[in-house]
Amino acid sequence: MSEKFDVIVIGSGPGGYVAAIRAAQLGLKTACVEKWVNKEGKTVNGGTCLNVGCIPSKALLDSSWKYHEAKDALEVHGIETGKVKIDVKKMIERKEGVVKQMSGGISGLFMANKVTSIQGTGKLLAGKKVEVTDKDGKTTTYEADNVILASGSVPVNIPPAPVDNKIIVDSTGALEFTEVPKRLGVIGAGVIGLELGSVWNRLGSDVVVLEALDSFLAIMDQQIAKESQKIFKKQGLDIRLSCRVTGSEVKGKEVVVTYQDKDGNEHQETFDKLIVCVGRRPYTEGLLSEDAGVKLDERGFIYVNDLCMTSAPGVWAIGDVVRGPMLAHKASEEGVVVAERIAGQKPMMNYDVIPNVIYTHPEIAAVGRTEEQVKADGEPYNVGVFPFLAVGRAVAANESSGMVKIIAHAETDRVLGAHIVGPSASDLVQQVAIAMEFGSSAEDIGMTVFGHPTFSEAVKEAALAVNGHAIHMANRKKR
């Protein structure tokens, strides 16, 4: 038996590494176990988000957007570029550099905060012991007063399109293409499908997105979803709803995909690459010994209560491996809450105010309840919508697609949700998230002085529009 810790965290993604740093800050002797090995054979921190998720996909989204702008969107500003070329290899190398920098940053933070990094595969044993198997198969067992499980999630595979990492890839493989596929198929018009579909569409692929559901972005506010769908159509993304993929056959360097439409008719489409992005599932393989005392729920998530406590005393679980949205920032916040609980503090997490963003261009962002949810909850509400077309800064930037929508309770005026498609939606939604966290009314936001000219003015005007007081458009109802 080797060292004993106050806290051992298994997994160093945005949930685990944040939990470890916060625990160490609070004076707890903390270790973080990580098994992720990069292409160079080095164990790296950061999990899916830093290595093959949020960060590298944003690097490619930004590179591909710059290419698109240089090629097609600068002329309107009077800028001539001549022929614009893309060097995919260089773009992928830059992405890898970004990943390396961010992952190295976590190692630096671990050192600065005196978090012990343990390299290898962690397994929870009974009695809060953690067995770690290193790359050479050697096992060491550690003891802890508290264990935090933060093992994350992995892509879901579907039998009709088994990933071969050559022609049929998952979200990880889609970050590694060495050339732009001429015909790209995407299964699933969810967050990943839209983000990765956008990257390769901008670089010149003909992209077809096959989505089984009959409505686009079914969990988003439907007014915003419909507006987004129109924008993507203009961008050339061929999104086919009610199309369930039933089979695929790799033939040489291409794949023939079979899918059924809403009437049950069968169709086929041939692609050079196919990305499968039909959701993610909690990752618990090899994580728990049989007598660890940690229960899973019926969907395979680690069962936790509101405070992220598992069924084993002193064992906590956070992030994608537990219930709730699979979002990095949700995982991080749970990590902070758990570390502070272990240290004897009493923080709570507000699950009702978690923003989510789809990093297309323009971005789609939301916080709180959709109009459909508020209606289903039977609460009286008012809605304010303001288009970016009426925002001077957006028009000046040639970024005037989309709108801000704010929903407030009809009696109390308390903000219940905000939904945005438009420029900088990811940052604008955070303004409403702060307001909601403070229990603000739409009137409170409307009375706040916003800088001019900014994209943010769309937030103020949408809040004013809730009660029919928007200045820069004709209000639907006057009060």
Ligand X SMILES: NC(=O)c1ccc[n+]([C@@H]2O[C@H](COP(=O)([O-])OP(=O)(O)OC[C@H]3O[C@@H](n4cnc5c(N)ncnc54)[C@H](O)[C@@H]3O)[C@@H](O)[C@H]2O)c1
Contact 472, 395 (CB under 8 A): no
Cβ-proximal residue to ligand X, closest one: 190
Q: Does 358 bind ligand X (CB under 6 A)?
A: yes
Q: Which one, 117 or 246, has the nearer CB to ligand X?
A: 246
Residue 429 within binding range of ligand X, rule CB under 6 A: no
Complex with ligand X: residue 203 or 245, whichever CB lies closer: 245
Q: Are 373 and 357 in contact (CB under 8 A)?
A: no
Q: Which two tokens stand for residue 226?
A: 């419909």
186 binds ligand X (CB under 6 A): no
State the DSSP code for 71: I
241 touches ligand X (CB under 6 A): no
Query: What are the backbone dihedrals phi and psi of residue 231, each rounded to the nearest 5 degrees, phi first?
Result: -65, -45
What is the smallest separation between the CB atom of 187 and ligand X, expressed in angstroms? Answer: 5
CB of 275 to ligand X, least distance (A): 10
Establish if 213 lies at the interface with ligand X (CB under 6 A): yes
| 43 or 246: CB nearest ligand X | 246
| Minimum separation from the CB atom of position 47 to ligand X (A) | 13
Residues annotated catalytic, as ranges: 452
Tokens of 12: 């160093």
Going by their DSSP bridges, the two strands 168-169 and 273-276 should be labelled as parallel
Query: Closer to ligand X at the Cβ: 279 or 314?
Result: 279
Strands (DSSP E) contained in 164-253 are 168-169, 183-187, 206-210, 238-240, 244-251
267 alpha-carbon distance from chain centroid: 31
Sign of CA dihedral 437, 441, 446, 448: negative
CB of 78 to ligand X, least distance (A): 34
Question: Between residues 183 and 244, which has the closer beta carbon with respect to ligand X?
Answer: 244
Phi, psi values for residue 104, rounded to 5°: -60, -35
| Contact map string, positions 325 to 354, toward ligand X, x by CB under 6 A | -xx---------------------------
For 429-456, the DSSP string reads HHHHHHHHHTT-BHHHHHHS---SS-TT
- Answer yes or no whether residue 458 interacts with ligand X by CB under 6 A: no
Question: Residue 392 Cβ, how far from ligand X at the closest point, in Å?
Answer: 29
* Closest distance of CB 19 from ligand X, Å: 20
Give how many residues touch ligand X by CB under 6 A.
25
Options 59, 61, 191, 403; binder of ligand X; rule CB under 6 A: 191
Q: Per-residue DSSP letters for 120-155? A: SEEEEETTTEEEEE-TTS-EEEEEEEEEEE---EEE
What letter does residue 378 receive in the DSSP assignment? T
**3 state SS of 423:** coil
Q: Which residues inside 273-312 make contact with ligand X, applying CB under 6 A?
A: 277-280
Helices (H), 142-221: 191-202
Is 384 a binding residue for ligand X by CB under 6 A? The answer is no
Site membership for ligand X, residue 210 (CB under 6 A): yes
Q: Which two tokens stand for residue 411?
A: 């009696």
| Cα→Cα distances 174→86, 94, 168, 284, 330, Å | 17, 15, 9, 24, 25
Of 27-35, 141-149, 211-219, 462-470, the window that binds ligand X (rule: CB under 6 A) is 211-219
Span near ligand X by CB under 6 A; candidates 61-69, 100-108, 178-186, 205-213 = 205-213
Residue of the chain from 5, 177, 301, 359 that contacts ligand X (CB under 6 A): 359
Residue from 25, 292, 39, 276 nearest 151 by CA: 292
Per-residue interface string for the shown chain with ligand X, residues 131-170, x marking contact by CB under 6 A = ---------------------------x------------
Residue written as token pair 């916003």: 450
Residues forming the site for ligand X (CB under 6 A): 158, 187-193, 195, 210-213, 244-245, 277-280, 326-327, 356-359
